[in-house]
Amino acid sequence: MPSHLFSERLLCPLSHRNSKEEVDPSLQALESHQEEILKRLYELKSAVDGLSKMIQTPDADFDVTNIIQTDECSPLTTTGADLDLMLGKDYGALKDIVINANPSLPPLSLLVLHSLLCERYKILSAVHTHSSVKSVPESLLKCFGEQAKKQPRHEYQLGFTLIWKDVPKPQMKFSIQTMCPIEGEGNIARFLFSLFGQKYNAVTSTLIDSWVDTAIFQLKEGSSKEKGAVLRSMNAALGKTAWLVGNELTVADIVAWCALQQTGSANAAPANVQKWMKSCENLAPFSSVMKLLK
């Protein structure tokens, strides 16, 4: 019911009373209370209408491009962040990241992130096979590439160990004795990307998280209809910016690119998505993962 009709119905008995009759104070108070309620309803409706435009959906008319572009971050190739500050200082011990993953569905995004981290930090890398797995392709056993001659542990900044194991989804532990495992490729990718020390505003952070979830749960695991919808959304976003969120590579691009590769949707991708995929593949960490897909 339109609010003006609602108002008329509520106030009708009071507004049509005989002007000569003495006004009952209780009726006056009721009328005043009704008007105050309607005023608050109008204000609430306006607030809800405003908020609805800010929710990013395929049909939303709120353009966050300008907000994202003002959230400028340094490229990933700059000097490394302070790992002691981010992860806590542990005197005399190398910080170790240990990831369990199933070789039947390798978490490609974590391999890309490993390569990016190696560009920034001195990483002690290792690949092992758990007894729960009968065999692992040679390419996955060498997924970190040829390891240079190892130096003493204390000369490295971070340990990164990948164990091929029969697990339903990737699991990660950092500081094994004290930390519960982080599960899921998207969640681990977020953690690893945070080691670059990038800082984003609330809008950018939310969009990055949204794209990561969309890539994992719809692009990688969703129906063909869901995948088609995601590709259209990606095409629209990449028509405005070079990367999915702004003008710099984020974890959203890494996870989405890997999801496209593993689902076989890359060849059916629209023009802007194809251009973006080539930009990803021009970066060494992505091209090295391409070899695993052949």
DSSP string, the chain: --HHHHHHHHHHHHHTS-TTSPPPHHHHHHHHHHHHHHHHHHHHHHHHHHHHTTS--TT-----HHHHHTS----TTSPPP-HHHHH---TT---EEEEEE-TTS--HHHHHHHHHHHHHS-EEEEEEE-TT-S---HHHHTTT-SPPPP--GGG-SEEEEEEE---SS-EEEESTTT-PPEESHHHHHHHHHHTT-----HHHHHHHHHHHHHIIIIIITS-HHHHHHHHHHHHHHHTTSSSSSSSS--HHHHHHHHHHHHHT-GGG--HHHHHHHHHHHTSHHHHHHHGGG-
Task: Return d(Cα 36, Cα 168) in angstroms, integer.
Answer: 57
Task: Return d(Cα 235, Cα 31) in angstroms, integer.
Answer: 54
* One-letter amino acid for residue 147 of the chain: Q
Residues 119-162 pLDDT 10s: 999 999 999 999 999 999 999 999 987 766 678 888 888 899 99
Q: Where are the domains of the chain?
A: 3-56, 88-194, 202-293
- The b/e string for 25-62 (b: 16+ C-beta within 10 A; e otherwise) is eeeeeebeeeeeebeeeeeeeeeeeeeeeeeeeeeeee
Is pLDDT larger for residue 14 or for residue 217?
217
Residue 293: how many other CB atoms lie within 10 Å: 12
Could you tell me what percent of the chain has a pLDDT over 70?
A: 72
Is the model's pLDDT at 55 over the cut of 50? no
Contact 103, 167 (CB under 8 A): no
Q: Which residue has the tokens 């702004």?
A: 246
Task: Return d(Cα 112, Cα 108) in angstroms, integer.
Answer: 6
Residues 161-185 pLDDT 10s: 999 999 999 999 876 556 678 999 9
Q: What is the CATH number of domain 202-293?
A: 1.20.1050.130
Domain 88-194 part of CATH 1.20.1050.10: no
Task: Return d(Cα 70, Cα 196) in angstroms, integer.
Answer: 20
Q: Which of 233, 81, 108 is nearest to 162 (CA)?
A: 108
Tell me, yes or no, if the two domains 88-194 and 202-293 fold the same way.
yes
- Distance from the Cα of residue 70 to its chain's centroid: 19
State pTM to two decimals.
0.72
pLDDT at position 13 is 44
- Going by pLDDT thresholds of 50, 70 and 90, the confidence category of residue 54 is very low
Task: Return d(Cα 198, Cα 72) in angstroms, integer.
Answer: 10
Residues 184-235 pLDDT 10s: 999 999 999 999 988 889 999 999 999 999 999 999 999 999 999 999 999 9
Is the model's pLDDT at 243 over the cut of 60? yes
